[in-house]
Amino acid sequence: MELRKTFQFEAAHLLPRLPKSHKCRRLHGHSFKVEIVVDGELDARLGWVMDYADMSKAFKPIWERLDHRYLNEIAGLENPTSENIAIWIWNKLKPRLALLTEVTVAETCTAKCVYRGLERSRTDDSAAKRHKTHKN
């Protein structure tokens, strides 16, 4: 059975590897939404897979590092694409949340990235490809 919990953080960033003419190369911010997904067996006695409060507790230190920050200044997020943010969150969260199966990062209400771990996702080269092919 799968559980999903959504969190939000506000942060600024720029994408330093893009051409200077690209809008995402300029400093800007988002109200990021992060959804974390766990998958496990239903505990027949308790009637749940896990306590949502435990999901929140595991994510809180990560949220504190991201909320109202300049993401480019965080080690490992020097190029803070949605893809790299999702991978970064996964790497920090998976040791605390063994049942983790998915991290989704949405930078707008219409643009999001889903990461399911190294063996189930493509390489982070997709960020560079996306920005080369879409000139918004």
10, 68, 73, 78: the catalytic one is: 68
* Catalytic-role residue among 24, 35, 64, 78: 24
107 counts as catalytic: yes
**Known catalytic residue at 68:** yes
Distance in angstroms (rounded) separating the CA atoms of residues 80 and 136: 18
- DSSP result, 39-59: E---BTTTTBSS-HHHHHHHH
Catalytic residue among 30, 107, 113, 131: 107
Is 24 an active-site residue?
yes
Enumerate the active-site residues: 24, 68, 107
